[in-house]
Every structure is written in structure tokens, then in C-alpha cells.
Structure 1
Amino acid sequence: MMFVQQLIDCNASNYGCSGGNKLKAYDYIIQNGGLNTKQNYPYRGIKGTCDAIKERGDGLNIDTYAIMTSRIDDKLAYALYEQPMVVGVDAHSSKFEKYKCQIFHEECVTKLPMTNTT
């Protein structure tokens, strides 16, 4: 699981609770040298000030990422076996109108074009 609060607080180019871009999140993780653990940088659900002391840590470190465009089940299963996968969500649904900055708990039925990152 990615460490959401640190990305919200510290990744200035990624809009905090007002949206986000998975590629900018990965770029931040690489440039920052990783993310702290969720125990050391817990989720609060609101944008706060970046804690520079807690910004670096030993929670998650990546050095590259790739974009998958294949819908072939075997390739997706292999990619997921090898590393984490991020999936885009269509936020234009009316279910998102009142969404502020919490964890979204609704069934998503819209099928998006395949642009997952791995």
C-alpha cells in the first residue's frame, strides 16, 4: 500500500486532496529516495504541512515504473506478481461530487481505457 498522507502533504506538484496523478507520485517517490512507513507518516485525510523529518524513510523505495497498456490477463497477472500496480478511476461520476479527502467506498462500474502503471 502506498503511503498516501506523505504524498498529499509533500508532493507539491500533485494537488494534495484536490486530485492526483500516479505518474507524478512515482516521480516524487524516486526523487525523494522513497517514502516513510504509514506508521511513521499516518493518514489524516486532510492536507497538512510536509514533515521534512518524516519525509525520508524506509517504507517504500522505487527506482523506475512502467505504463501497461495490455489487456492480456497473463501479462497483467505477471506484472502484478512482480510489483505493485496502480489503477485509474473515472472521477466524473456523480458519486464523487461530495468527495473531499477521505477513502472512497463505492462500487466503480465504469470501464476506463487501460493506462495502469506498474
Structure 2
Amino acid sequence: GSCWAFSAVSTVESINQLVTGEMITLSEQELVECSTNGQNSGCNGGLMDDAFDFIIKNGGIDTEEDYPYKAVDGKCDINRENAKVVSIDGFEDVPQNDEKSLQKAVAHQPVSVAIEAGGREFQLYHSGVFSGRCGTSLDHGVVAVGYGTDNGKDYWIVRNSWG
């Protein structure tokens, strides 16, 4: 799917709002169609790091309004690709399986993360603190936006592109 694009865009939108005070909705479709570097394959999957690399090398990313999401692969629109509304100058990976580092990062800003979402428990999840098994076969991009503790159980607050 295109979860990698939604994760990357959501993170960039949120950080841009933290810095500028303005919420600008950015284009996942531009990443789906134009970010073909690395392992990105449009609606057939990709990596958030490759999306961030594209935004840096492209000098920015366009708005959702100008380059709307279509939920299908298409040809990169060079004219729209050149509309650089929000830019980033870098990104940093949180060390894998290092929850303390992730907590520290999320305390300052939303963070793109990969999770295992293929399990039945996760597919059927609808609300509250997820109590199912957390696997290690990373196959879905989401955004960690916070964390907390409920009845002594630690949890992450995650924004998912599924709704």
C-alpha cells in the first residue's frame, strides 16, 4: 500500500505545524508517483526514509490540494513536483528496538515508525489500548504521536492512515 507515503507526509505536516504554527496538508500522491528512489514502489509499498530523501532532494513537497491523492499509481507530474511548498533539510533514524530513544523523540515531535500490522488482532483492532501480540515483521508505516501509561501498562499513541 501507500502507508509509507501517509506516514512520511503526516510527520512532515506535523513538524511543519510545530515550527510555523500553520497546518498545511501535503501530497501523499506526489510521493506515490514521484518518489521512486530506493525501495519505493508507489501503491505497492515503500519506505519512509526514501520518502524523506525524496523531499530533501526535490527541495520540498506540494500540497494535497494541488496534487490530490488518487489511491492509484500514476505518472509523476513534473509541473506539480516542482511546487515546493514545505521542505525539510534532513531526518534522523531512531535506533531500532530502542523505546527510550523513541520516547525522547516523540516528546518533541511526531515520528514515522514501522509496525507489524498483518496479524488478525491488529486488523480487527478498533479502539483503546491495543492488547494483541506485537510482531517484528514490519509491514506498515504509521506515526507515533505520543505515549502514556494505563493501569501500569505502557502504550504508544499512533496515527494510522486507515482512519
Q: What is the TM-score normalised by the length of structure 1?
A: 0.70
Q: Judge conservation of contact 2:105–2:111 (CA < 8 Å) in 1.
A: no
1:6 partner letter = E
- Residues 106/88 of structure 1: CA separation in 2 closer, same or farther (3 Å cut): farther
Alignment of 1:15-94 (within 5 A): 15-69=41-95, 70-72=98-100, 74-80=103-109, 84-93=110-119
Higher relative contact order (CA 8 A, sep 6+): 1
Distance 2:82 2:103 in 1: 35
| Structure 2 residue ranges without an equivalent (≥5) | 1-5, 10-26, 137-141, 145-163
Structure (1 or 2) with the larger CA radius of gyration: 2
CA-based RMSD of the aligned residues comes to 3.2
Q: How many residues align?
A: 105
Distance 1:32 1:112 in 2: 34
Per-residue CA deviations over 1:16-75 (Å, capped at 9, x if unaligned) read 111111111111110000100111111010001111000022432111000113412751
Distance 1:56 1:93 in 2: 39
Farther-moved stretch of structure 1 (39-48 vs 54-63): 54-63
Q: What is the TM-score normalised by the length of structure 2?
A: 0.53
Give the match's secondary structure for 1:12.
coil
Q: Judge conservation of contact 1:36–1:59 (CA < 8 Å) in 2.
A: yes
| Structure 1 residue ranges without an equivalent (≥5) | 96-104
Identity %: 28
Give the match's secondary structure for 2:99.
coil
- Residues 32/58 of structure 1: CA separation in 2 closer, same or farther (3 Å cut): closer
Per-residue CA deviations over 1:62-92 (Å, capped at 9, x if unaligned) read 1100011341275133332xxx421213254
